[in-house]
Structure 1
Amino acid sequence: MQRVFFTRFFSYMEEISRLGSIRRAAEVLNVSASAIDKQLLRAEEELGVPLFERHPRGVRLTSAGELLMYRMRAWQKDMRAAAFEIEELKGLRRGEVRIAVPQEAVTSFLPQALSGFLRENPRIFTSVRVAESDRVRQMVIAGEADFGLTFSPRPLPGVSVLRELPFRVLALMPEDGRKSVSLDRFFSRPVLVPDATSHLRDVLDIAAARAGVELAPVMTSNSLELLRQLVREGCGHGVIAVCPDAFEGAGAGLAALPLRGAALPDLTMALISPRDSSSALASVLAKRHFELFIDALKG
């Protein structure tokens, strides 16, 4: 059916199904009953099935008619949502986007990715929740976040992976002019490590096991920022996960150095979104921005 015919016919079907009579629907719509009946017959001919059962006392939707009405109502709802989002795009309304990220992504990568989006979309309210990677995935599945970043190991059931980006694990040490550090030297000093909520802890445990070194941290914490500050204070060595092409340095007084002789496992960040769900315009714009940002880094 043509779109204009479809829209007009939808209003006819709604009134006919509500009133149970073509004649009464014609009176309400101020259209001749014969005109409505002709359009109904035309639609049934094009679809190849009857849409109404005709009885002496009126008409009633068939199963095919019920299905068509359901689909047409969904189409109308989608059109209203599209009109709403177009108003958002024109700046007539404010959008909102919710992002969930792990702590490991906050250093350098997230500020760079977010800054461009915030500058380009000043009317969209953006909220960022920091959580452990496994929790990020659950938040996306539960609808608590529009999309997220995670370092959770594959597979990732329940979500769609939009992009992936390799991260590198580096030793975090006070600045002393070195360009790299051996694993032996790294473990010769007190080690400040993330707790089990961070995948960085898994990387350190694996590196120590492969090197035959017993990992005996002097402190653990779920705050990577606290550990970074304690490394700056000279309390020991730590680790940091960075995207090489987005890393701007560990900060004043600190150095992020490659670990020599360390067979570190890969760490991959994934941009994830809910599977099989519609998204508001603000979320679509934000996800697309992150996709292009990651593509640019990889390209």
Structure 2
Amino acid sequence: MRSPLTPASLRYVDQVARSGSIQKAGKELNVAASAVDRQILLMEQDLGVELFERVPRGMRLTAAGDALVTLARRWRADERRVVAEIKQLQGIDQGHVRIAAMDSHVNGFLPDFVERLAAEQPRITLDIEIATPDDAVSALLSGEVDVAAIFNLTPRRDVHVLWSAELPLGCVVAPTHPLAEEKEANLQRAVAHPIALQSRALVIRRYLEAHYGWLFNEPNKAVVTNSLQLVKKLACGGHYLAFTSELDAAPELISGELVFLPIRDKGAEPQTVSVAIDSRKPISRIGRIVAKALEDEIGGCLDKVRNMPGQQVMSARP
């Protein structure tokens, strides 16, 4: 996207930070590397500080450079918002929205969301970054994304939650698993069976460790992996169970490959999924359209799972 309102110097600094070198930045910007280098040297001269450390493998941001890159990205975010507002004044719902989502969303509701938005709003384009919850919040607050779908979002003043749904703690098993006929499960019974367990790289593992550390006293019964897809595949095989949410396992629950059993232990706390924005700045009309479509897709996915025969009905709508 062209940036008619963002100074070239800021765009150049931002691209060098992203690319790690002046030569790569020049190729990305389609300008001569010498022009990029000249702009950076002029800015360093005007500001009286170095923006980058010149290291053998490229360019590394200094603290001053990092502050300038933050400014550049906020400027570009504001530019996109203003351009979208101008289009809206012309009666056109057109613009670009950047989204942060979780890895487990990739094989869940996210493809349907993209297809639906493309059909309903063909003039709106998307960038989708897959991130951890912490990284998604950081991207939201730095202006790198406009909207984020985040698991277990901790309340904070600078993040505004537009929509949220609870995700009860549960486990998934294949229809042939010994627990499959149960309407619910408890943790003591669940851990009597082999478990496909997520590694600490995934949200659910950190959640379980924080609330139910005793689950990990018998690691010989578990296969540990950082792949949610492998966890679900192992559960589908019938030998293992897996702790996860209805949203993470939605495709397999809808297809009948897996059955979800809510955990009914006293004190079992639900996780959450939230659609959020930066509370410190207004969201554009285009951003609201995308956020609402994201809410509807997640809520609709959960409703579909929960209204499957044999599943407990629990509306995902706030």
> Which category of TM-score, normalised to the shorter sequence, fits these structures?
0.5 to 0.7
Aligned with 1:139: secondary structure? helix
1:175 Cα deviation from its structure 2 partner? 1.3
On the 8 A contact 1:148/1:271 being kept in 2, the answer is yes
Task: Determine if the alignment matches structure 1 residue 84 to structure 2 residue 103.
Answer: no
Q: Tell me the residue number matched to 2:191.
A: 187
Aligned position for 2:99: 99
- How far off its partner does 1:141 sit? 1.2
Amino acid across the alignment from 1:82: E
Task: Quote how far apart the aligned CAs of 1:104 are.
Answer: 4.5
Identical positions, percent: 20
Structure 1 residue matching 2:253: 3-state secondary structure: coil
State the Cα distance separating 1:202 from its structure 2 match: 3.0
TM-score, length-normalised on structure 1? 0.59
2:312 counterpart residue number: none
What is the RMSD of the two structures over their aligned residues, measured on CA atoms? 3.5
The code of the aligned residue for 2:163 comes to R
User: Could you state the TM-score of these two structures normalised by the residue count of structure 2?
Assistant: 0.56
- Residue 272 of structure 2 corresponds to residue 274 of structure 1: no
Tell me the residue number matched to 1:34.
Answer: none
Corresponding residue for 2:24?
none
- Structure of greater Rg: 1
How far off its partner does 1:240 sit? 1.8
Counterpart code for 2:92:
K
The aligned counterpart of 1:142 is 142
For the 8 Å contact 1:97–1:125, the answer to whether it is kept is yes
Work out the CA distance in 2 between the residues paired with 1:295 and 1:190: 31
Q: CA deviation at 1:199?
A: 2.6
- CA change 1:240–1:173 in 2 (3 A) is same
Distance verdict in 2 for CA 1:189–1:214, change over 3 Å: same
**What's the offset of the Cα at 1:136?**
0.9
**Correspondence 1:287 to 2:291:** yes
Q: CA deviation at 1:213?
A: 6.8
2:263 alignment partner in structure 1:
259
Deviation at 1:278, TM superposition (A): 4.5
Partner of 2:317: 298
Mapped contact 2:175–2:238 kept (Cα < 8 A):
no
1:1-299 superposed matches below 5 A? 82-87=85-90, 90=92, 95-105=95-105, 108-110=108-110, 114-176=114-176, 177-179=180-182, 180-206=184-210, 208-209=212-213, 214=217, 216=219, 218-234=222-238, 236-242=240-246, 249=253, 251-261=255-265, 263-291=267-295, 297-298=316-317
- SS across alignment from 2:129: strand
Unpaired segments ≥5 residues, structure 1:
1-77
- Cα distance between partner residues in 2 of 1:273 and 1:164: 12
Aligned residue identity for 2:204: L
Corresponding letter in the other structure for 1:259 = I
Q: Which whole-Å CA distance do the structure 2 matches of 1:126 and 1:80 have between them?
A: 15
Instruction: Determine the C-alpha separation between the residues in 2 that align with 1:260 and 1:278.
Output: 41
Displacement of 1:194 after TM fit? 1.7
Deviation at 1:151, TM superposition (A): 2.0
8 Å contact 1:158–1:275 — kept in the other structure? yes
Counterpart residue type for residue 241 of structure 1: S
Query: How far apart in 1 are the matches of 2:86 and 2:149?
Result: 30
Query: How far 1:164 sits from its partner (Å)?
Result: 1.9
State the one-letter code of the partner of 2:144.
E
In the aligned structure 2, how far is the partner of 1:158 from the partner of 1:227?
34
Secondary structure at 2:235 match in 1: helix
Q: Following TM superposition, by how much is the alpha carbon of 1:190 offset from its aligned partner in structure 2, in angstroms?
A: 2.1
